[in-house]
Amino acid sequence: MKFSEQWLREWVSPQLTPQELADQVTMAGLEVDAVEPVAESFSGVVVGHVRRKVQHPDADKLSVCEVDDGSGEVVQVVCGAPNVAEGQKVPFARVGAVLPGDFKIKRAKLRGQESRGMICSASELGLEEGTSAGILELPATAPVGEDFRAWMGLEDTTIEVDLTPNRGDCLSLKGLAREVGVLNRLAVQGPAIEPQSVTHETRFEINVSDPERCPRYVGRVIKGVDVTVETPLWMVERLRRSGIRSIDPVVDVTNYVMLELGQPMHAFDLANLSQGIEVRLARAGERLTLLDGQDIALRDSTLVIADSRGPLAIAGIMGGEHSGVTATTRDIFLESAFFTPLAVAGQARAYGLHTDASHRFERGVDPALTAVAVERATALLREITGGEAGPILDVTSQAHMPAPRQVTLRSARLEQALGMPFESSLVVDILERLGMAVTTAPEGWTVDAPSWRFDISIEEDLIEELARIHGYNRLPVRRPSARLALRADDERRQPQARLRGQMVARGYQEAISYSFVSPELQRLLMPDAVSPRLANPISSDMAVMRASLFPGLIKALEHNLNRQQSRVRLFETGLVFNGELDSLTQTGMLGGLACGPREPEGWAGSRESVDFYDVKGDLETLFALGGNADAWRFEPGRHSALHPGQTARVLHDGEEAGWIGTLHPAVRAELGLKVDAVLFEVRLDYLVQGKLPAFSALSRYPEVRRDLALLVDDSLPVQHLLDSIRSHAGEWLTELRLFDVYRGKGVEEGDKSLALGLTWQHPSRTLNDDEINQLVDAIVTESGQRFGARLRS
C-alpha cells in the first residue's frame, strides 16, 4: 500500500517528520518498506500562460509561442509539443531553471527563432515514466507565475507500507489515518460523505444467487456522465503517488474511492448490460475476456457478475472487456459489493491473477462500507463528469453477513502477558480509538470488534492491539519466571539422534524425502497397500501418502545412480501412513538402503558388492545400542518388493517390527535399475526401547569353554538352534558364539556343520567337569530330538 503523506495529513496530521511518521507506523506493526519523494528535484519552474501560438516559419513540427510567466514580460518560446495551444496553463521553465537530470535551461535559437525557456511535459519534470506524448496541461484556475513545485505540492513523500495479511483494514487512507490517530491520540477527520440526491428512478435489477459468497451487493445507475472530460490534476496526482495510473474519470474515481476508503468498485456501461445483474457461480463452458485482454475459461467454482447474456466480471477480481466504460459511455451502473475472503482468494490464484481489488477482498473488506462507497463515488463522478444519480439498490443477506464478535479481556491476563499493569482508562481509550465498543466488566472489559477488523476474535488479539499501540519498546524487559521441575529421564529409551549417529558411523547418509509418493511406484512395491490419496497433490507423481519408506528411498537411489554415484548408503526416519482417513494409522519408521561396493574405492579395499548380510549386520548394531539385542529376531518371510530367497521379517519380542531384504529382481527390472540394492525398514517405537543398564559383579573364578560341531539340516534357521541351546545350557552360560558354518567335503549334501563355542563361569566357585559334561549332554540330546542335530565326528 503506497500513499501520499500530504493526503494522509488531510485526515490526521501529527507533529512528526516523514521519517518519524514511518518509524512510528513500523513500530505499530505496519512495516514501512520505503519513504521516497513524489517527484525528482527541479527548480525555476512556474505556472505559465500561453498567450499566442504561431507556426514556426522554418519547421513544420515546431511552434513559436508567447508565454506569460508572471514576471510582467511575455517570453517567446519555441515548442515542439503537438498539443500546445493558446490559452493553456502550462509548467514553464524559465531561463536558469534546473530540471531533473541536472538539465539547465538556457537562452537558445531554434531554426533561427529565439527561445527563452521551455514548456514542460510531465516526463521532463519526472512526474511520469517514459516519454510524454505532449506538454502537461494545467487547470485554467492555475495561478500564473506561481512556483509550480509549490502549487503542485511536490514537497511530498510517498510512504510504502508492507501489510501482513491480517491487516486488510489498513489498505486505505481511512485505515492508515485511524492507526496514526490512535498512535498520536489525535482526532481523524475524513471527507464528509452525504447521501446524494436522486434525480431519476431508473433501476437495474440485482439478483444474488450465491449469498454465502456475496452477502451484500449494492448498485446504482448514473445517467448522463461525460467520460471525455479530463480527470482533475489533483486526483491524477494522488493516484500517481499511490502507484496507480490515470485512465479515464470513471475508472479514476473508482480507484480513488478504493484508495481512500478501501472499498473496491466497478463501473459497467449500462448500454452493454441486458435485463439485470446476477451474482452467481460460472456455468460449464462459459468464457470471459478480461480487461487486460486475457481470454479465460471459467471454472464452475468461480463467482461471477453476469447479466442475461453471460458473465461480465470475475467477482472481486477483474471486470470483463466488453462491459467496461468507453469514450462513448453515457450511462453507467456502479457496483459495490462485499465478497467473503475465501470466495476471492482461491479464485484469484487459480487464474494467476492478483489485482488491487482481489488483494483487498481476500484480506477482508469492511461490509459496512459498501453503500457509503457508492455515495462517495457518486459525489465525485457528478462533480467531475456530471450525471444524474438513481436510487441505490442494496441486496443484503443478513444470515450470511459476518457475525458480530464480542471478546472478553481480563485485566489479570493482560498484566501477565505484557508484564505490567494497564490503567482501565488507558485500555478503554486505546480500544475505543481503534473503533471498538468497550464495556467495563468486573474482571476486565467486554469488547465488540468493529466490522473492519476481521482479525479480532480472541483475547490475545486485544492484548496484541494494546501492546503495539502502547509501544513494544515501552513494555518492561524482564526475564520470565516459572517453577521448572526436572523431568524424569527414562534411561531405557534412546534418542533418535543416537540411532541416526550410529547409521552415519556405519557409512550411511541421511535422506529426507516427501511423505507423498507416486501411486504407480507404491503399487509396484506394495500392491496391497492402502493409504490416503491427496485431493490437491503437488504433482501427479506425489498423489498418495506413503505406506512405506521404500518408495522415497528408491527414488533417491535412482537420483544418485543417474548421477554416476555407484556406491549409495541412505537412511531415513519418518512416518508412514496406512489405511483410509477414517481408520488411518501413522507409524514412525527407520528405513535404509545400500547398493554398490561393500567398501569405498581404494587400493586395499574389496571390490565385492554389498549383500544381505552386510546390511543385516548394520541393522544389528542398531539393536545392540539399546542393550537388548536378544529381543530381536530375523526369520524368513515374503514381501512383494523384496527377493523371495533374500528376505527376512524383523521381530521384536515375537511381534513384527519390520523387513529387510534385497530388492525383487522383477521390481528392479521394472524400474530399470542395473544393480542390486538391499533395503530395510524397522519401527522406531521398538528401536528406541532399551534395557536399563545394571551392574553384575565380576567372577574371580575361571571360565570353562567347550566347542561343539553339530550337523543339522541345511534349511534349519540357526537362530532356532541357538535359542534352544540357551534354554538348556543352564544359568551360568555367559557366552554362546557361532564361529563357523561349513558345507562341503565330509558333510553330506543337504546338511551343514555348525561350530559353536559355549562358555560357562560361576560367580562363587569353580565349575567341575561333571557339571559341564551334564550340560553338554543335555544340549546335544535336546538338539537331536528337536532338530535332528548330531555331533560331527
What's the pLDDT band for 789 if we cut at 50, 70, 90?
A: very high
Res 578: pLDDT:
94
What the block records as the C-alpha cell of 689 is 526401547
CA distance 183 to 177: 10
Instruction: Name every residue whose Cβ is closer than 8 Å to that of residue 74 and which is 6 or more positions away in sequence.
Output: 51, 66, 67, 68
**pLDDT tens readout for residues 126-171:** 888 777 888 999 998 899 999 999 999 998 999 999 988 888 999 9
Sign of CA dihedral 283, 289, 290, 294: positive
Dist. CA 302–CA 57, nearest whole Å: 62
- State phi, psi for 358 to the nearest 5 degrees: -65, -35
**Amino acid code (one letter) for 46:** V
667 within domain boundaries: yes
Considering the domain architecture, whether residues 146 and 253 belong to the same structural domain is answered as no
Task: Say whether both 435 and 568 belong to one domain.
Answer: no
Supply the pLDDT for residue 549.
Answer: 96
Going by C-alpha positions, the residue among 380, 397, 385, 389 that lies closest to residue 261 is 380
d(CA 220, CA 393): 6
Q: Is the pLDDT of residue 338 over 80?
A: yes
Question: Could you list the residue range(s) of the whole structural domain that residue 76 is in?
Answer: 43-152
490 found inside a domain: no
- Between these two residues, 478 and 273, which has the higher pLDDT value? 273
Is the per-residue pLDDT at 92 higher than 90?
Answer: yes
What CATH number does residue 169 fall under?
A: 3.30.56.10
Average pLDDT over residues 655-681: 94
Which set of grid coordinates corresponds to residue 266?
A: 466497478
Cβ(248)–Cβ(326) below 8 Å: no
Q: Return contacts of 97-102, CB within 8 angstroms, 24+ apart.
A: 97/42, 97/43, 97/44, 97/45, 98/42, 98/43, 98/44, 99/42, 99/45, 99/124, 99/125, 100/40, 100/41, 100/42, 100/124, 100/125, 100/126, 101/40
Q: Are 107 and 115 in contact (CB under 8 A)?
A: yes
Q: Which of 306, 398, 302 shows the shortest CA–CA distance to 343?
A: 302
Question: DSSP character for 421?
Answer: -
Q: Are residues 606 and 649 in the same domain?
A: yes
Same domain for 769 and 629? no
The answer on pLDDT for 793 being more than 80 is: no
Count: domains in the chain: 6
Backbone φ and ψ of 234, nearest 5°: -60, -35
Instruction: Show which of 365, 382, 400 is a domain's final residue.
Output: 400
Render the burial of 108-133: b for 16+ CB within 10 Å, e for the rest.
eebeebebbbbbbbbebbbbeeeebe
Q: How far apart are CA 247 and CA 252, in angstroms?
A: 6
User: For the chain, what percent of residues have pLDDT higher than 90?
Assistant: 72
Q: Which three cell numbers stand for residue 639?
A: 514381501
Residue partners of 667: CB distance under 8 A and separation at least 6: 524, 525, 641
Is residue 237 located within the same domain as residue 180? no
Instruction: Measure the CA–CA gap between 154 and 237, rounded to whole angstroms.
Output: 10
Rounded CA gap, 531 and 523, in Å? Answer: 11
d(CA 150, CA 148): 5
Residue 194 lies in a domain: no
Over range 379-387, report the average pLDDT.
94
Angle at which helix 411-418 crosses helix 424-433, to 10 degrees, equals 90
Angle, alpha carbons 726-731-732 (nearest 5°): 100
Mean pLDDT of 407-426: 92
| 417 close to 478: Cβ distance less than 8 angstroms | no
Interstrand relation of 295-297 and 406-410 (parallel, antiparallel or unpaired): unpaired
pLDDT per position as a tens digit, 273-326: 998 999 999 998 899 998 888 888 998 889 999 999 999 999 999 988 888 898
Instruction: Judge if 247 and 268 occupy the same domain.
Output: yes
| Alpha-carbon gap, residue 164 to 30, rounded angstroms | 8
CATH number at residue 515: 3.30.930.10
CB atoms within 10 A of CB 598: 14
User: What torsion, rounded to 10 degrees, do the Cα atoms 419, 424, 427, 428 define?
Assistant: 170
d(Cα 191, Cα 56) in Å, to the nearest integer? 48
Q: Provide mean pLDDT across the span 465-492.
A: 83
For residue 512, give Cα distances in angstroms to 280, 324, 516, 575, 677.
45, 52, 12, 11, 19
Cα–Cα distance between 366 and 375 in angstroms, integer? 15
Same domain for 377 and 520, yes or no, is: no
- At residue 480 the predicted structure's pLDDT band, cuts being 50, 70 and 90, is low
Q: What is the mean pLDDT of residues 257-270?
A: 94
C-alpha 28/C-alpha 16 separation (Å) is 15
Same domain? 548 vs 564: yes
286 assigned to some structural domain: yes
- Is pLDDT above 90 for 562? yes
Residue 317 sits in the same domain as residue 384: yes
Give the three-class secondary structure for 561: helix
Domain boundary among 458, 473, 488: 473
Question: Which segments within 29-107 are labelled E, that is strand?
Answer: 31-37, 43-55, 63-68, 74-79, 89-99, 103-104
We report the CATH number of the domain holding residue 289 as 3.50.40.10
What CATH number does the domain containing 725 carry? 3.30.70.380
- Per-residue 3-state assignment (H helix, E strand, C coil) for 204-239: CCEEECCCCCCCEEEEEEEECCCCCCCCCHHHHHHH
Three-state SS for 100-168 is CCCEECCCEEECCEEECCEECCCHHHCCCCCCCCCCCCECCCCCCCCEHHHHHCCCCEEEEEECCCCCH
**How large is the average pLDDT for residues 593-600?**
92
Mean pLDDT of 426-448: 93
Q: Is the same domain home to 655 and 755? A: no
Residue whose C-alpha is closest to residue 4's, from 256, 313, 216 = 256
The answer to the question of residue 139 being in a domain is yes
CA distance 481 to 485: 13
The chain-wide mean pLDDT, for the chain, equals: 91
- Whether residues 414 and 395 fall in one domain: no
Residue found by looking up cell 500546445 in the block: 84
Q: Convert 693-722 to b/e letters by CB count within 10 Å (16 or more is b).
A: eeeeeeeeeeebeeebebbbeeebeeeebe
User: Does residue 618 surpass a pLDDT of 70?
Assistant: yes
Q: Name which residue leads in pLDDT, 59 or 548.
A: 548
Handedness of CA 321, 323, 325, 329 (dihedral sign): positive
Quote the percentage of the chain above a pLDDT of 70.
100
What is the reported pLDDT for 535?
84
Domain-ending residue, one of 355, 378, 400: 400
Give me 50's grid cell. 500561453
In a domain, 572, yes or no: yes
Q: Which helix (H) or strand (E) element contains residue 786?
A: helix 769-787
What pTM value is reported for the model?
0.65
In a domain, 485, yes or no: no
Classify residue 324: in a domain, yes or no: yes
Neighbours of 342 (CB within 10 A): 11
Same domain, 253 and 368: yes
Question: Residue 70 above 80 pLDDT?
Answer: yes
Assign residue 139 the CATH number of its domain.
2.40.50.140
What band does 538 get if pLDDT is binned at 50, 70 and 90?
Answer: confident
Query: What's the pLDDT band for 513 if we cut at 50, 70, 90?
Result: very high
